[in-house]
Amino acid sequence: MTDNGDGYLSRVADSIEASQLDMAARLLSHAEALVREPKASARELRYVAARLVESLHETLRVARSRGGRLPRPVEPFHSPDGGPVPGNGDCAGPPGAPGG
């Protein structure tokens, strides 16, 4: 919890989140290069995969935190063809999929 959108705690949280997202972007760039490297060892790939998992956890935490501060839409978003837009808060997935 932070104090408000302009308070000290909010600014500190925003700074930490920005740093985490910047690190995630740099890690992604490194991982992309490593995956393209034919001589990358299994140990190197496992290491970068573990760091990507950690980074994804942090990135999801940031997204949830920021998303929690946004007003919820009254109706789900829909694509131009009328279908629901993936990722608009509906985690059920397509009809017939597990959890859907």
Q: What is the CA radius of gyration of the chain?
A: 18
- Round to whole Å and give the CA distance between 62 and 74: 23
Q: How much is the pLDDT for 12?
A: 86
Identify the band that residue 42 occupies on the pLDDT scale cut at 50, 70 and 90.
very high
Please identify which residue in the block is written with the tokens 């909010």. Answer: 10
How far separated are the first and last CA of the chain, in Å rounded? 32
Which amino acid does the sequence have at 54? E
Whether the pLDDT of residue 44 is over 50: the answer is yes
Cβ contact 73:88 at 8 Å: yes
pTM equals: 0.59
